[in-house]
């Protein structure tokens, strides 16, 4: 990063481009995929290469001599064709942009403003916009060149121009279909869930689980009296941590690093970020460890599973306000599936070890309850006395319970037990009360909490 800053042209770059040189490779990839200009720029580059190829074929290689007479078009007709198709492609591009703005407004108002990034970063969205921009640039540049040439006949230019226009029309239909399909509730929640599952696989499983251990072993307690606390140098969210590199550096320095903040947490300058202790603490270069921690002005989903769960939760909360119970129920089902993935791939231990099985990094402790609260806590709060939503949540937990151990079953039951005791029985119809109690009883049977169920039954009697 320092080398980038010393680059002579760096200081002349606008801030919107300069920030990419300050990012690590993984964050840069995520940011570029989340912007609208990256893919169109790639297609525009390809279109310029296509312009060079078609003009070379027609002007330098005289392609009209190798094709049937029916494919030979006069220069005047070619100019008319290209100039006409410029307007057509521009019109399709304008309709597409207008549709995009409508979809983004709808997402922001009805679901969550945090979903805008997911739609923009979707590959199908970016490819569609890239095709429109690339095709428009192609016909525009070709029009400029064919007007200045002395050739009387063209073959490749008209054929390619008609082809890219046809591609634009097909892409327009494809984009509208993609956007309307993406907006369907089950597809939105499924997309959110898959994004979170990807985080579980790439971050929690591949980056962390290989280093986790349940038994801390030797953690240099005799050296902890010399523990050094390191404050944050700037305000912002914890966005990325290079765990692998940090473990290796801690092994070389023979120290243990302990984090005092968790991934995605907001810190202020001066807050304790991490501490370290070991036998050679005087020789530690703290800046090396700072470089492995990315702090930014916004939350980043790359390593923060809680943010992905919060998006699903926010969809459910918005739907509660819009009187859309079906969307809430669908979000609950997707969240339950996500919780099952968490249980399957995450070991709830804060200790990360090196290849010698020596603890090198200690994270802030997380538990199954924290994921449960992040996923369903907001839904429960905003549902209030909506017993129908509570019943669906209880049924989802009943399906989750057989796949988890006893300790996690207790956490699930405690969540629903507290929820049940805070419902007002006088505001629930008799038939609704019957089905609600059936849901509670099913979960009690799955978790082995029949005695507690009797207390719930007494509460509703």
What per-residue confidence (pLDDT) applies to 418? Answer: 94
Evaluate whether residue 199 is within a structural domain: no
What per-residue confidence (pLDDT) applies to 2? Answer: 40
Evaluate whether residue 190 is within a structural domain: no
CB 111 within 8 A of CB 324: no
Q: What is the mean pLDDT of residues 194-215?
A: 79
CA distance readout (Å), 344 to 200, 376, 455:
10, 19, 32
Which of 130, 163, 183 is where one domain is finished?
183
Per-residue model confidence as pLDDT tens digits over 213-242: 888 888 888 888 888 999 999 999 998 888
What per-residue confidence (pLDDT) applies to 409? Answer: 93
pTM for the whole structure: 0.74
Q: Are 165 and 34 part of one and the same domain?
A: yes
Q: How many domains does the chain have?
A: 2
DSSP string of 332-367, one letter each residue = HHHHHHHHHHHHHH-----EEE-TTS-EEEEPPP--
Which of 183, 218, 241 is where one domain is finished?
183
Q: Does residue 360 register a pLDDT over 70? A: yes
What per-residue confidence (pLDDT) applies to 412? Answer: 94
Show the domain range for 77: 13-183
Which of 125, 158, 183 is where one domain is finished?
183
Q: Are 177 and 311 part of one and the same domain?
A: no
What per-residue confidence (pLDDT) applies to 4? Answer: 43
Per-residue model confidence as pLDDT tens digits over 104-140: 777 666 666 666 677 777 888 889 889 988 999 999 9
Q: Does residue 10 register a pLDDT over 60? A: no
CB 44 within 8 A of CB 137: yes
Distance CA 447, CA 378 (A): 23
What per-residue confidence (pLDDT) applies to 308? Answer: 78
Q: Are 174 and 318 part of one and the same domain?
A: no
Q: Are 22 and 170 part of one and the same domain?
A: yes
Evaluate whether residue 270 is within a structural domain: no
Evaluate whether residue 34 is within a structural domain: yes
Evaluate whether residue 283 is within a structural domain: no
Q: Which residue has the higher pLDDT, 134 or 366?
A: 134
Evaluate whether residue 275 is within a structural domain: no
């Amino acid at each position: 990063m320092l080398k980038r800053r010393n680059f002579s042209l760096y200081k002349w770059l606008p801030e919107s481009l300069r920030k990419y040189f300050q990012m690590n490779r993984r964050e840069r990839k995520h940011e570029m995929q989340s912007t609208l200009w990256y893919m169109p720029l790639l297609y525009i580059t390809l279109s310029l290469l296509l312009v060079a190829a078609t003009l070379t074929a027609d002007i330098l290689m005289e392609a009209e001599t190798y094709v049937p007479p029916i494919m030979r078009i006069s220069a005047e007709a070619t100019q008319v064709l290209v100039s006409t198709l410029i307007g057509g492609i521009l019109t399709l591009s304008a309709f597409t942009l207008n549709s995009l703005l409508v979809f983004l407004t709808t997402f922001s108002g009805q679901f969550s403003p945090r979903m805008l990034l997911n739609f923009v970063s979707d590959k199908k969205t970016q490819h569609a916009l890239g095709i429109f921009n690339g095709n428009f640039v192609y016909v525009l540049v070709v029009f400029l060149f064919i007007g200045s040439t002395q050739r009387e006949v063209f073959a490749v230019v008209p054929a390619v121009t008609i082809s890219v226009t046809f591609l634009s029309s097909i892409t327009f239909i494809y984009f509208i279909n993609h956007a309307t399909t993406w907006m369907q509730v089950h597809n939105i929640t499924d997309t959110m869930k898959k994004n979170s599952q990807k985080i579980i696989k790439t971050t929690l499983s591949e980056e962390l689980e290989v280093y986790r251990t349940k038994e801390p072993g030797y953690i240099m307690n005799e050296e902890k009296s010399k523990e050094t606390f390191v404050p944050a140098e700037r305000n912002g969210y914890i966005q990325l941590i290079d765990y692998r590199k940090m473990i290796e550096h801690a092994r070389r320095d023979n120290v243990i690093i302990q984090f005092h903040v968790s991934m995605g947490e907001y810190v202020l300058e001066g807050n304790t970020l991490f501490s370290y202790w070991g036998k050679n603490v005087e020789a530690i270069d703290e800046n090396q460890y700072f470089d492995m921690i990315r702090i930014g002005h916004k939350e980043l989903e790359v390593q923060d599973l809680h943010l992905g769960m919060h998006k699903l939760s926010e969809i459910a909360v918005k739907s509660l306000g819009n009187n859309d119970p079906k969307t809430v129920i669908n979000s609950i089902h997707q969240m339950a599936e996500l919780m099952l993935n968490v249980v399957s791939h995450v070991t709830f231990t804060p200790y990360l070890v090196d290849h010698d099985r020596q603890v090198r990094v200690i994270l802030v402790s997380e538990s199954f309850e924290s994921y449960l609260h992040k996923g369903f806590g907001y839904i429960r709060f905003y549902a209030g006395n909506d017993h129908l939503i509570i019943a669906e949540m209880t049924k989802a937990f009943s399906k989750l319970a057989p796949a988890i151990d006893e300790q996690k079953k207790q956490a699930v039951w405690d969540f629903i037990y507290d929820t049940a005791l805070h419902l007002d029985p006088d505001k629930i119809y008799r038939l609704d009360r019957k089905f609600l109690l059936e849901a509670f009883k099913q979960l009690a049977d799955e978790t082995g909490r029949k005695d507690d169920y009797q207390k719930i039954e007494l509460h509703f009697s």
